[in-house]
Structure 1
Amino acid sequence: MGILSWIIVGALAGWIGSKITGNDASMGAGANILCGIVGATIGGWIMSIIGKSGVNGFNIYSVLVAILGSVILLSIINAIKKRK
């Protein structure tokens, strides 16, 4: 995937992930993009562990994997924030 595709998938996955975890009000566009890109990496890593393909192009499967990863990332961040 090209850099523009990563940004688009990252923005979409980060935004949806922040909606699911309730972080949307505290996140801006840049944070959504970063969260989605990192989430795609996490989701791809998890999928490879269970024997599935990770983010492999600009398609619905890749977006779903990225959303899964961003929800996991935001859940971890929320748990850390609550401990403080």
Structure 2
Amino acid sequence: MTWLLIIIVGGILGWLASKVMGTDAQQGILLNIVVGIVGALLAGLLLSPLLGVAPITSGNFSIGALLVSFVGAIILLAIVNFFRRGRVR
């Protein structure tokens, strides 16, 4: 059940991150889910230990964990945009 919630929340966070970064028209729902989940994994590995917040991949769906995962998805989209276009958009 936790994995289903991670997929749903990851999709929502990926969609919100793509709206913030302006890449929503270029990617579909599947890529939004992938960006949200991979961004949450990256945030769980890199940002969560620095901030002392458990990641959503561990089943923690607190406000702090959601914000860290959202920031991770935005950072992932910025990295993808940089390599795709040569600049962060």
TM-score by length of 2: 0.82
Deviations 1:12-66 (A, max 9, x none): 1100110111100011111111100000011112224415123141232222111
Which ranges in structure 1 are unaligned for 5 or more consecutive residues?
A: none
Identity between Structure 1 and Structure 2 (%): 40
Which ranges in structure 2 are unaligned for 5 or more consecutive residues?
A: none
Q: Which residue of 1 aligns with 2:76?
A: 73
Please report the RMSD computed on the Cα atoms of aligned residues, expressed in angstroms.
1.6
Given that residues 45 and 54 in structure 1 are in contact (C-alpha distance below 8 angstroms), is that contact kept between their aligned partners in structure 2?
Answer: no
Instruction: Measure the CA separation in 2 of the matches of 1:24 and 1:51.
Output: 28
Q: Which residue of 1 aligns with 2:40?
A: 40
Given that residues 10 and 36 in structure 1 are in contact (C-alpha distance below 8 angstroms), is that contact kept between their aligned partners in structure 2?
Answer: yes
Task: Tell me: CA distance 1:63–1:51, structure 2 relative to 1, closer, same or farther (3 Å).
Answer: closer
Q: Which residue of 2 aligns with 1:9?
A: 9
TM-score by length of 1: 0.86
Count of residue correspondences? 83
